[in-house]
A and B are shown apart, each in its own frame.
Chain A
Amino acid sequence: MILFRLAWGSMWSRRITIILTIIAIALSATLYLGVDKVRSGARASFADTISETDLIMGARSGSVQLLLYSVFRIGNATNNVSWQTYQDIAARPEVDWIVPLSLGDSHRGYRVLGTTQGYFDRYAFRGGQHLTFAEGDRFADLFDVVLGADVAHSLGYSVGDEVVVAHGLASFTAHDNKPFTVSGILQKSGTPVDRTLFVSLEAIEAIHVDWQGGAIVPGTELSGEEVRELDLTPTQVTAAMIGVSSPLDIFNLQRAINDYEQEPLLAVIPGVALAELWEIVGVAETALTAVSAMVIATALIGMAAMIFSSLNERRREMAILRAVGATPLTIVGLMLIEALIVCALAVLLGVALLYAGLLVLRPWVDAQYGIYLAVTAPGPSELWILLAIVGAGAIVSLFPALRAYRMSLADGMTIRF
């Protein structure tokens, strides 16, 4: 008890350096735990994005690439799948349901997805939840559009508003001769759906029918009403989500698609592609974790340096303690207690900063990156990390403590200055 009081008193007399040290360690702990939170949050968000879909089919490319552009709307397809091929696959006996995906256009930074009404029935996320409408309903008319929650919220649209779709992803050429009308707005799902605009496959066909090579061919421009008269059967789709009749058919169908002779295709199982993605991302995650562990180590070494540099001014203090009967081990104990108090306070502050940061940044991270960060009590792994920080602090402080031990043995009762 007296040791604790002495350590506390000594620390209080050096409180500015002590507080700065505590802040440094606390920030490093916050960084480490924050990286961990974002990592698990990102994984959970990704893993929650698609369920109940057995296969994703697209033009032959990488499986991760296919998963990214079809489900996460990240990156682009290198090629499309012809409508004929799509029909062929859809007609296979193993296929229970199939939903086409047609990507390529955008609206003010948000991607436009051409699909069928089946999307709203089949797309499932977070363990089987289906999309629901906050307002309005699915697209019924050719020029109806359904908005994801974030699109509607950030662009301030409501049902009945007009939306002009732009050609490509970052283009200034708009399909402004064929404006869409908002027919419905989806409930927030925490998936890329929130940041997507949905139109029918025919609508995608309709807005491109008078385009050639990325621009309207002059003189051939058609009005919305004229387009309605045309045959709007799609010529190609970007990808498709497939459900099989029996789980046993998944691999058969996958092989059949991959071996499809008329066109190079690729079918992936979302979970497998996701695992492949983690393998790639895992390297970056490990690097990030290593960097934040380094930051913790740096902060702890800073603490040891702080204790080291305090030793000289504390030689007097140590001589006094020795004179009144303190053993050199008591001196070592003082140093260790100091390190433990610093680390314990730092860890508490670090956790407080983490949760404060989570509460403040969560809506922004969700809106910006679609990563839902769960605010939950620290789990066992986090508690172990915190404990490890305190333990590592004690170990690091052994070095100055041993030096103090030797100094207090050598100095004896001589007070050196």
Chain B
Amino acid sequence: MPEPDTQPLAEREDKAAILLQELSFTWPGPSGFRLHVPHFRLERGERLFLFGESGAGKSTLLSLVCGILEPAAGELNVLGTDLAKLSRPARDRFRAENIGVIFQMFNLLPYASPRDNILLPLNFAPQRRNRVGSETAAEADRLAELMGLPKNLLTRRTSADLSVGQQQRVAAARALIGQPPLIIADEPTSALDRAAEDQFIDLLFSRIEASGASLIMVSHDMRLCERFDRTVNLGDLMQTGGGGSI
């Protein structure tokens, strides 16, 4: 068990990529699913493997961290910003600027080219665009190449005919462009076979190391967890309120 934090909150925040205190959220409607996280902390540059049963609330937690859902109570601090205090558009803007998201599958707009898909977040994040510089297309191509995508693929008119593995690499390049400090990946490899999965994780980790971003990756594949700095069971996180390492 890690030592309970004794420092004042303000001093701790700047070092944490994510800091949750007594965070609770309830889905509206009859199901009334409730999520409560007494305490959770992710350090900057830390790579966290998050697992849990289906329906345990992984996607809900990620949506809260991304600022798409609004907590009912508690502290939701991401990269030193209390998201609970931001307006809805400000949270959307914050997400665009600071967080790269990779979904399980169907990550891409099928009617846009792979390159346009990679460039998509820059349209909503002016600071992130400034970090990329004026040659946005070249940066998209570079990232795609580093993710092992052939160059002639990028300018295809649509992304619909890419293989699942290729789609996930494009999605990773999109999450990484403009070096957002936090990457959130929701089962990004579940549709890939083992070889493709390993290759994908290798490429993703090398890019994250290069940018120094923090990573939360949700997965059911426990084989992967040893490659991460820390592994957390969402069930433990909700019960113990601690780091819940195994």
Q: Which chain A positions have C-beta within 8 A of B20?
A: none
- Measured between alpha carbons, how far is A247 from B119 in the docked complex, in Å? 79
- Measured between alpha carbons, how far is A326 from B110 in the docked complex, in Å? 17
Interface 9-mer from A211-219, A249-257, A373-381, A409-417: A409-417
Interface residues of B in 75-98 (CB under 8 A from A): 88-89, 92-93, 95-97
- Measured between alpha carbons, how far is A330 from B123 in the docked complex, in Å? 11
B111 touches which one: A2, A12, A414, A415 (CB < 8 A)? A12
Query: Is there contact, CB below 8 Å, between A320 and B109?
Result: yes
Query: Is there contact, CB below 8 Å, between B92 and A316?
Result: no
Question: Does A160 reach chain B (CB closer than 8 Å)?
Answer: no
B88 touches which one: A5, A13, A324, A327 (CB < 8 A)? A327
Query: Is there contact, CB below 8 Å, between A325 and B124?
Result: yes
Q: Which chain A positions have C-beta within 8 A of B68?
A: 322-323, 412-413
Q: Which chain A positions have C-beta within 8 A of B101?
A: 323-324, 413
- Measured between alpha carbons, how far is A165 from B201 in the docked complex, in Å? 98
Question: Does A10 reach chain B (CB closer than 8 Å)?
Answer: yes
Query: Is there contact, CB below 8 Å, between B111 and A324?
Result: no
Query: Is there contact, CB below 8 Å, between A415 and B109?
Result: no
Query: Is there contact, CB below 8 Å, between A326 and B124?
Result: yes
Question: Does A352 reach chain B (CB closer than 8 Å)?
Answer: no
Residue of B nearest to A322 (CB): B68
- Measured between alpha carbons, how far is A416 from B93 in the docked complex, in Å? 23
Query: Is there contact, CB below 8 Å, between B109 and A323?
Result: no
Given A13-B110, A412-B68, A414-B59 in contact, is the A325-B103 Cβ separation under 8 Å? no
Q: Which chain B positions have C-beta within 8 A of A330?
A: 124
Most chain A CB neighbours (cut-off 10 Å) among B68, B93, B108: B68
Distance (Å) between the CB of B182 and the closest chain A CB? Answer: 13
Query: Is there contact, CB below 8 Å, between B106 and A324?
Result: no
B125 touches which one: A9, A319, A322, A325 (CB < 8 A)? A325
Question: Does B63 reach chain A (CB closer than 8 Å)?
Answer: yes
Q: Which chain B positions have C-beta within 8 A of A414?
A: 59, 63
B92 touches which one: A2, A12, A320, A327 (CB < 8 A)? A327
Q: Which chain B positions have C-beta within 8 A of A316?
A: 106
A412 touches which one: B69, B112, B121 (CB < 8 A)? B69
Interface residues of A in 321-374 (CB under 8 A from B): 321-330
Query: Is there contact, CB below 8 Å, between B96 and A325?
Result: yes
Residue of B nearest to A13 (CB): B111
B155-167: CB near A (< 8 Å → 1, else 0) gives 0001010000000
Distance (Å) between the CB of A48 and the closest chain B CB? Answer: 54
Most chain A CB neighbours (cut-off 10 Å) among B63, B93, B160: B63
Q: Which chain A positions have C-beta within 8 A of B69?
A: 412
Most chain A CB neighbours (cut-off 10 Å) among B93, B96, B101, B111: B111
Question: Does B24 reach chain A (CB closer than 8 Å)?
Answer: no
Distance (Å) between the CB of B238 and the closest chain A CB? Answer: 18
- Measured between alpha carbons, how far is A412 from B71 in the docked complex, in Å? 13
Distance (Å) between the CB of B137 and the closest chain A CB? Answer: 14
B93 touches which one: A12, A325, A413, A415 (CB < 8 A)? A325
Question: Does A387 reach chain B (CB closer than 8 Å)?
Answer: no
A1-38: CB near B (< 8 Å → 1, else 0) gives 01001100110110000000000000000000000000
- Measured between alpha carbons, how far is A299 from B158 in the docked complex, in Å? 30
B33-76: CB near A (< 8 Å → 1, else 0) gives 00000000000000000000000000110110010110000000
B103 touches which one: A2, A317, A323, A329 (CB < 8 A)? A323
Residue of B nearest to A317 (CB): B109
Residue of B nearest to A325 (CB): B96
B104-143: CB near A (< 8 Å → 1, else 0) gives 1011111110001000110111000000000000000000
Q: Which chain B positions have C-beta within 8 A of A319?
A: 103
A10 touches which one: B88, B111, B160 (CB < 8 A)? B111
Residue of A nearest to B95 (CB): A325
Question: Does B13 reach chain A (CB closer than 8 Å)?
Answer: no
Residue of A nearest to B121 (CB): A324
Query: Is there contact, CB below 8 Å, between A325 and B111?
Result: no
- Measured between alpha carbons, how far is A329 from B89 in the docked complex, in Å? 9
> Nearest 5 pairs between A and B by C-beta?
A325-B96, A325-B124, A13-B111, A9-B111, A412-B63
* 23 chain-A/chain-B pairs, Cβ below 8 angstroms: A9-B109, A12-B111, A13-B111, A13-B158, A316-B106, A319-B103, A320-B109, A323-B66, A323-B103, A325-B95, A325-B96, A325-B121, A325-B125, A326-B124, A327-B89, A412-B59, A412-B63, A412-B68, A413-B59, A413-B62, A413-B66, A414-B63, A415-B103
Chain A positions near chain B (C-beta within 8 angstroms)? 2, 5-6, 9-10, 12-13, 316-317, 319-330, 412-415
- Given A325-B121, A413-B63, 15 additional A-B pairs, CB 8 A: A2-B123, A5-B116, A9-B109, A9-B112, A9-B116, A10-B111, A321-B120, A324-B124, A325-B92, A325-B96, A325-B97, A327-B93, A328-B88, A412-B59, A415-B104
